[in-house]
Amino acid sequence: MSKKTALVVAHTHWDREWRYPIWKTRSLLLEFMDWLIDILENDPSYESFLMDGQTVCLDDYLEIRPENRDRIAALVKAGKLSVGPWYTLPDLFPISGECLVRNLNKGIRFAEDLGGYNPIAYHTFGWGQTAQFPQIYRDIGINYAVAAKKVSEERAPHCEFMWTAPDGSELLTSRLGHFTRQNGYFYLHFPVRLNNIYDDNQYKWDWGKTGVAYHRADENNYQNDYFRIDHEDGYFKENVKDAAQRTWDNMDKTLVDDWRLLMCGCDFSTPNPYLPQMVKDSNEAIPEIEFRMGTLKEYFQGVEERLDRSIVPVVQGELRDGEPSHASANALATRIHIKQLNKTAENSMIRRTEPLAATLATLGVTHSSGMISKGWNYLLKAHPHDSINGVTQDKTVDDNIYRLNQAIEISETVYEDCMAGMLKKLDLSAYGQTDTLLLLHNPQPRPVREVIRVGIDTPQDDDVWTLGIEDADGSRLAVQEITRDEHKQPVHDIEARPWPFYVDRHQLYLDTGEIPAGGYKVVKVVNDRSYWREEEWWPAMRKSAGGFIGQGSSKLENDFLKVVVNSDGTFDLTDKQSGRVIEGMHYFEDEGDTGDYWAYYAPYGNQIITSRGFGSRIWMEDNGPLSATIGIETTMQVPAHAEYRNVRVQGYGKRSERLVEMKITSRIMLNKDSKHVKVKTSIDNTAKDHRVRLMIPSDIQTDFSDAAGHFTVDRRGMVHEIDDDGKFYPEMALRPMSVFCDASDGTNGVAVLNNCLTEFQLVDDDRRTIALTLLRAMRNRICTESRVSSEFPESLGSQMLQTVDYEYAIYPHAGNWDEGKVYAEADKLNAKPAATQISMNHGGDLPTVASHYAIDNDSLVLSAVKKAEDRDAIIVRLFNPTEETQEGILKFGLPVSKAWKNNMIEKRGEEISLNDGAVSLSVPKGKIITIEVAELETGGVSRQHSVSS
C-alpha cells in the first residue's frame, strides 16, 4: 500500500484594499513581499508560495520596488512563486462577463512577462461563482479549479466534483474541506506557532505578553486598529502531532483518501518561515503520512492519477449556495452607487468606445491605444471583491469611485477623439460650408431606430426659431421641441484662446430613422422658421399635428402600450398586442436592515412600509407625438434608523419610532413605437438601517425567474435550496442580474431592463412580484475576524444618506425571454445611439452612411468588439445564451479578408472562412466564441482602406 500524502501549499489571500485603505495595505504588502522574497531566495526547503491567484499585488509592489523585478521574475521562472491567472480578484456578479475575460487576459499576460502563470483556476474569492467558469477556464487551457463561496455539501457531498457549464464544458474542481483555503493555517499554524486552537475561546491579545503593538490615540484615529510590529518566534513542537492529524482529517470527505491538500495561509497572512520545519516535524509525528510542500498543479496531478472520474458527482451551473452570510450573498446591493458607476464605465468602454476605436482604426482613424489600456487599468483595479462592493472604510469607497470616474473620463475622451478623427475623414462634399450636421452612431450589432433626446446649437446669427432634421436621403425626420435658449459656448482651439460661440440651444426629441448596425449616419439640421430676436410682442406660436402620446396628466399611450397612473403613484400597464392589463405596477417598499455589508437581516421588530400608503403628486411633462413623460413624486415617512446591538444575540432589533421623510421621484416615459416603458427614479435617502425595493407585479404564474448573467441567462427557482426539513434561507432568494431579469410562463412575460441595478427577487406572492433592490443602508462594520470587528460609527457612507438615481424599463412581451428578444431590448438602455454635432470639413473619403459590423440573429449576443492586444486585428466576442444552436451571419463593412477562431485570451486557433466580409456562424447552446478578423496581406489590419455605404 502506497504512503498517504499531505501536500502543503503556502499562500496568502491578499485583499488589495479591505480592512485598510490602499496605501496602508500597500505598506503591509511591501513588508510582506520583502520578507517573502528573502525566504524564497535563501531557504531551498521553502519550495513554493501561491500568490493568491492574482498578479496586481506584484504590480503594486513593483510600483514602489521596481529594482526587485528581476528577483521576482527569477522566482516565478523557477516555480517558487506561483502567480495568476487573474490580475485582480473580482467579485463576479456586480461586473460583466466581458470584464472577467479581460481580467484573466491581463493577469496571464502580466504573469507571462514574469515567467509564467499558475495553470490552476484558484478561485476562492468572489461571492458566488458564475455558471460559465468551466467554459471560460477550459477555453484558455485551464483544466482544474479550486472554488469556494460557495457550493453546498448537498450539491457537492465530496471535496471533488465535476463542474459543468451551460455549453457542457467540464472542469474538475475541489471545494477543499472545512475552513477551505485556511485549513492548514487554522489547524496547523495556530497550534504550532501560537500555541492556540483557533476555533476555541482562548484566542485573544494579551497586552504586554503576546507581542509589541502600537495604536494611534489622537481624536481622529483612535478608532483604528492596533498593529503588531514584532515577528512571532514561538514554536510548539509538542502540538504538531494533533494539529497535523486534525488538518489531515479536515478533508475527510475527499474521494482521494490518500492524497490531501493542506492550505497554509489566510487573509493578509505573511510567509511562515517555520513551515518547512513544521512539515518535517509532521512527518516525524505521523510516519504513515508523508507531509511535503508542493503546488496546486502538483496536487491536481496527484488527484488525476488516483481519481475514478466515473464516481465524481456533477454540479451544474453557478455556485452560489447559502447560508447568506457564508455566501456574502447580499453585498450585491451594498453601496449601490459604486455598482452604478461601474456599469456606466463598462457600457462606455465596452459597448461604445472600444468598438468605434477598433473599427475606425481599419479606416485610418487612429487613437492612442495606451489611453484605452489606461482606462482598463483603472476599471480592473475597481473590481476586487471588497472594492466593487464597498465593504470597506469610506475612504476606500472614495478611492474606488475615483478609479471608476477615471475609466469613464478616459473612455469618453477616446470616444470624442475617435469622433474628431472621423470628422476629418468623412466625405461631406454634399453639404454646404455653413450647414449644421449630426453624426448619429449606433454601437448595437443590429439596425436601430430610436427616439433620442439631443441638444443642438444653431448660430444666433441664423435666428432659428424651429428646426428640422433631414435624413441622408433628404427625407424629414420627426422632431419634438422641448426648450430653446441663448448660450455663449467656448470653442477650444489649440492655436488660440477659446472662441466665444453665440448660439441658440434647441433641446428636442429626435426620431433617428434607421441607423445602420454597428455604424453611423450623417443627418442635416435645417431652419424651418426664423424669428426676430428683438421682438417681445407677439412671439411666434407653436403648431401641432396632434397625435400626442400623453393625455391629461395621468395617461400615456402609443401603438403598443398604454400607461394609466393611479392616485397612489402606481400605474396600470396595458400590453395592446396581447390585451394583458397589469394593475398597480411600480411602487416602493421600505423595511429595516440590521444586517451587515455582506448579508441582509431584517430586525425582529420590523416595519414594512409601501409608498401606496402616501399621497403622490402627479404631472405631465414633455408631451408630444414622439415622447411624453409623467412625473410622480411621493414622500414616504419611514423610521429614521434601527435600534439593535452589533451582535444579534445580545439584544432585540427594531426600527425606531422617530420618522423622517424620504422623497422618491419617478418619471415615467413612453416613446413613439416603443415596446417598453422607461423610468427614471430618484431617491433622496434620509434614513439609516433600511432597504428600499421597487415592486413590479408581473401577474405571471411561474416559480422561476430568468436573469442576464455572465455569457448566459441564469434560470433560478423562486425559492433557493429547500432542505430535507422543508426550510430555506429567504435572503438567498435575492438574485444577481446584469442587464435584465424576467418572469415568463412561456406564453407571456414581463422583463425589467436596467443599466444600474444588480439584485432582484421573484417574490412568492399571488402576483409573482419582481422586487428590485434600489439601496441597502447599514452601519460601517468590517468583519476583521469572527470574534471582532473594525467599527467606524462616525463614517456614514454605508448609510447612503444621499440622492441616488436609477434608470430602468418595464417590458411586457410574448413568449419567454428569448422569443421576446429581451436581450436586444436591454441593449436600448446599455448601448444607446449617440449624437455628435459636426460642422463642414473637406477632403475626406469616408461615406456619410456605413455599417461596420452586424449580427443578423438577435439570439446571438455581442460581448465585445475590440482591437487585438498585440497585433493589428479586430477581436469580436459573442455568445449564445439560449438552449438551442443558433445560426447567424457576422458581417463586416471593413477592409478585412482573413478570419480565425480564437480563444478568449486571443490566441489564434483555426482559420475560418470569410466571404465578402461575412463569417457564417453556428453557435451551440451556451457557447462563447471569439473571432479575429484581419487584412490579408499583413496578417493584421491595413489602415489604408475605406468602406462604402
Residue 683: which residues within 8 A CB-CB, separation 6 or more? Answer: 662, 663, 664, 692, 774, 775, 803, 804, 806
What pLDDT was estimated at residue 258? Answer: 95
Which three cell numbers, joined as nine digits, stand for 273? 518561515
Instruction: Return the SS3 of 817.
Output: coil
- For the chain, the helix, strand and coil percentages under 3-state DSSP, each to the nearest 5: 25, 35, 45
Hey, which residues does 617 pair with through a beta bridge? Answer: 633
pLDDT above 90 covers a percentage of the chain that reads 82
Report the pLDDT value the prediction gives residue 942, as an integer from 0 to 100.
36
Cell digits of residue 103: 481580467
What pLDDT does 123 receive? 83
21: left (phi over 0), alpha (psi -120 to 50) or beta: beta
- Give the pLDDT of residue 731: 87
Q: Does the residue 826 lie in any domain?
A: no
Give the per-residue SS3 of 116-127: CCCCCEEECCCC
pLDDT of 61 = 98
Comparing 317-321, 439-443, 748-752, which segment has the lowest mean pLDDT? 317-321
Q: Residue 661 is part of which domain span?
A: 550-707+760-809
Residue 526 lies in a domain: yes
Whether 152 and 32 share a structural domain? yes
411/80 Cα distance (integer angstroms): 39
User: In the numeric block, which cell numbers belong to residue 375?
Assistant: 482606462
Q: Is residue 14 part of a domain?
A: yes
Domain-terminating residue out of 838, 854, 882: 838
Q: How far apart are CA 733 and CA 322, in angstroms?
A: 10
Decide if 175 is inside a domain.
Answer: yes
Same domain, 421 and 445: no
| The three three-digit cell numbers of residue 128, written as one number | 458566488
pLDDT of the residue at 333: 94
Q: Of 556 and 946, which is predicted with more confidence?
A: 556
Of 799, 781, 778, which Cα lies nearest the Cα of 790? Answer: 781
Residue 176: is its pLDDT beyond 70? yes
441 and 481 both lie in a single domain: yes
Quickly state the pLDDT bin for 949 (edges 50, 70, 90). very low
Residue 252 in domain: yes
343 and 293 in one domain? no
Residue 352 burial (CB count, 10 A) = 24
Q: Which three cell numbers stand for residue 388?
A: 466593487
Q: What mean pLDDT do residues 437-442 have?
A: 98
Q: Domain check: are 352 and 313 in the same one?
A: no
User: What is the rounded CA–CA span in Å between residue 885 and residue 774?
Assistant: 36
Indicate if the pLDDT at residue 177 is higher than 90.
no
State whether 264 and 375 are in the same domain. Answer: no
Ramachandran region, residue 95 (left: φ > 0; alpha: ψ -120 to 50; beta: rest): beta
pLDDT score of 152 more than 90: no
CB-CB neighbours of 554 under 10 Å:
18
- Examine the fold and report which residue of 425, 446, 464 is the final residue of a domain before the chain moves on: 425
Decide: 346 and 403 in contact? Cβ < 8 Å: no
Least confident of 81-90, 201-210, 630-639: 201-210
Query: What is the rounded CA–CA span in Å between residue 649 and residue 191?
Result: 29
Residues 528, 635, single domain; the answer is no
pLDDT category, 651, cuts 50, 70, 90?
A: low
CATH classification at residue 497: 2.60.40.2210
- Domain total in the chain: 4
Average confidence score pLDDT of the chain: 93
Asked if 459 and 502 count as a contact pair (C-beta separation under 8 A), the reply is yes
Distance CA 238, CA 235 (A): 9
| pLDDT surpassing 80 at residue 838 | yes
Q: Is the pLDDT of residue 846 over 50?
A: yes
Is the same domain home to 420 and 477? no
In a domain, 119, yes or no: yes
Ramachandran angles phi, psi of 476, nearest 5°: -85, 140
Burial of 201 (0-12, 13-18, 19+ CB in 10 A): exposed
Whether residue 634 is found in the same domain as residue 660: yes
Q: Are strands 170-174 and 144-147 parallel, antiparallel or unpaired?
A: parallel
pLDDT of 599-637, one tens digit each?
A: 898 998 999 999 999 989 999 999 999 999 999 999 999
Q: What angle do CA 724, 729, 733 make, to 5 degrees?
A: 115
Report the CATH number that the domain containing residue 593 is assigned in CATH.
2.70.98.30
Tens-digit pLDDT profile for residues 752-778: 999 999 999 999 999 999 999 999 999
* Packing angle of the helix pair 69-77, 22-42 (nearest 10 deg): 60
Domain at 285, CATH number: 3.20.110.10
pLDDT band at 937 (very low <50, low <70, confident <90, very high): low
At residue 647, the pLDDT reads 61
Last residue of a domain, one of 321, 347, 369: 321
Asked if residue 186 and residue 44 are part of one domain, the reply reads yes
Question: Does 936 reside within a domain?
Answer: no
Domain-embedded: residue 818: no
Same domain, yes or no: 273 and 360:
no
Q: Which residues contact 301 (CB under 8 A, 6 or more apart)?
A: none
Mark whether 612 and 501 lie in a shared domain. no
AA letter at 671: N
pLDDT of residue 943: 35
Residue 315, strand partner residues: 163
Q: What is the pLDDT of residues 325-375, one digit of tens each?
A: 777 778 999 999 999 999 999 999 999 999 999 999 999 998 778 999 999
